[in-house]
A and B are shown apart, each in its own frame.
Chain A
Amino acid sequence: QKEVEQDPGPLSVPEGAIVSLNCTYSNSAFQYFMWYRQYSRKGPELLMYTYSSGNKEDGRFTAQVDKSSKYISLFIRDSQPSDSATYLCAMPDSNYQLIWGAGTKLIIKP
């Protein structure tokens, strides 16, 4: 079993829909949780960064962490075609190395 599990998709939704992207993890010691967005033929870019449990909102994006369930989510409201990308979750291990999810490919249909 991988330390971080993420459904690779693709996930296809109509423009304007609320998108929910998720990761599960096995190591209860993880404290920091990140979401990266990767456009085709580009490097990943940091989108959201949260610490411990709770919610963090930034514009149309909300990151949610449930440490009791070892489950993190990224919500995108009012999704746009420009949100079409691969979304990767990542979290530092005890050696501060990022453990990456496989990435979920998101397609927003106009």
Chain B
Amino acid sequence: DAGVIQSPRHEVTEMGQEVTLRCKPISGHDYLFWYRQTMMRGLELLIYFNNNVPIDDSGMPEDRFSAKMPNASFSTLKIQPSEPRDSAVYFCASSRGVSYGYTFGSGTRLTVV
């Protein structure tokens, strides 16, 4: 199993541009989570899906953020327009169930200049 795959690994973009982060979860995992990690705030849950359906998006900071999961093997997190304060490492994680441990991807390091 290749684990949770995220792309790109690094993204540098200018303020105002659209950014799309991608995630392929582990096959058979019903839950998919998007997290953001910064030094100041640690790990923050943005949104999670169960069986491709968004369950809780209360962590999405603003309407500029949106996430989709069109099928069981793919999810995107989009920021439009991006701002410098969005700079962080964004992680995708998947799990067999909410009481199980999560498997994280290697993250996307986003820098907005």
Contacts and interface: CB of A to CB of B under 8 A. Distances in A.
Q: Is the interface of B mostly helix, strand, loop or mixed?
A: strand
Nearest to B104: A43
B43 interface: yes
B42 A92 contact: no
B65 interface: no
A45 interface: yes
A72 interface: no
Interface in B77-107: 91, 93, 98-99, 101-107
A7 to B, nearest CB: 13
Contacts of A92: 98-99
A97 B98 contact: yes
Interface residues of B, number: 18
B106 A42 contact: yes
A74 B109 CA distance: 29
Interface string A21-44: 000000000001010100001111
A96 B30 CA distance: 14
B45 interface: yes
B98 A43 contact: no
Interface of A: 32, 34, 36, 41-46, 49, 88, 92, 95-98, 100, 102-103
